[in-house]
Homo-oligomer: A and B are copies of this chain.
C-alpha cells in the first residue's frame, strides 16, 4: 500500500479543536493550551486484544480509541487529540484498514477529537497503538491517590457487560439481551460527560475500569494508602445479567475488563451533588462501598455476609 495515499484517505478535512495549530502534514503536530495537558498511550495486538472472529474492523478502531478516551476521562480530562501508530500485515487490505479508521473517526467526531499524527509500518500481525491527549483545568486532574477515609465508593454504568458480550460472541449461544451485550463489547462508551461534569467537585479519586474493579480498586487503595470496602450486592449489573451462572457473574463483574466505566471515591458531603451531575449527564451511578483508614492498603469485599480480600487478580482469599 502507498502510505502517502493512505494518509490522504484518512486525513481530516478540517480541524475541530481551536487549539490545534498544525495537524498531519509536517514532521510533527503543534497545539497550544492554557489548560493542563493529559496524555496516555494504549497498544492493542490482533488475536490478543481483539479478533476478527468477534468484531468488524470498524469495532476494532472504535474500541481502541474508546480505551484511550476512557483513560482521559479517568483523569477528568476533555479529549482533544490522538495519534495512531499501526503495524499492518500484508494480509490486511486497504478497505479493512480504512474501516478501522472509520471506527476511530466515528468516536473521535463524537468528542470533537482531531487525528494529529501517526505512523504505519509493515509487520506480521496487526498492532494499533494510540496516543491520546486531552485538557483539564489547571490542577484539576483526577488522581487515584486522592481517596480519603470516610469517602464513599461509586461505580458508573453496569459491570461485566463487555465480558458477557465477548462470551456470547465466542460461544455463539443465544441469550437474553444478546445484542445489548455484544454492543457493549464492541462499541463501549467512555464516561466523558460525567468526568467533565465532576470538574466542579474539589476532590474525586478516579480510575477507569479497564481491567475489572478488583484491579482498579486495588490501584486506588495502594495509591491512596486506604482500605476500600466493597459490598458485592451493590456492584451494578444489567437487569438480565442474572441469566449467567453465579461463577460467571462474579468473575465478569469484578474482573471482566473493558467496560470502560468509572470507579471513584468522593466525600460523603459531595456524594449528593455527584449523583445530581450523574443524572444531568445521563450516567447511571451507584454507591458500592466505603473508604476506611488502613495500616496496609487493601480491598475487602462483603459477599453474602462474609468479608474477603479482593486482590488485583480478582481472586478472593479469606482473611
Is A26's beta carbon under 8 Å from chain B? Answer: yes
Is A271's beta carbon under 8 Å from chain B? Answer: no
Interface residues of A (CB under 8 A from B): 21-22, 25-45, 48-49, 71-72, 74-75, 77, 81, 83-87, 116-125, 127, 129, 131-134, 136, 138-139, 141, 143-145, 206-208, 223
Known interface pairs A141-B30, A208-B27. Does A85 touch B129 (Cβ–Cβ under 8 Å)?
yes
A45 to B45, CA, bound (A): 14
Smallest Cβ distance from A156 to chain B, in angstroms? 15
Contact partners of A26 in chain B: CB under 8 A:
75, 141, 143-145, 223
Interface of A (DSSP majority class): strand
Known interface pairs A83-B131, A121-B45, A127-B127. Does A40 touch B27 (Cβ–Cβ under 8 Å)?
yes
B122, A39: Cβ atoms under 8 Å? no
B27, A74: Cβ atoms under 8 Å? yes
Give the 10 A-B CB pairs with smallest separation, nearest first: A28-B40, A27-B74, A131-B131, A43-B119, A85-B129, A43-B85, A27-B71, A30-B141, A41-B83, A32-B36
A223, B39: Cβ atoms under 8 Å? no
A124, B125: Cβ atoms under 8 Å? yes
Smallest Cβ distance from A89 to chain B, in angstroms? 11
A34 to B118, CA, bound (A): 25
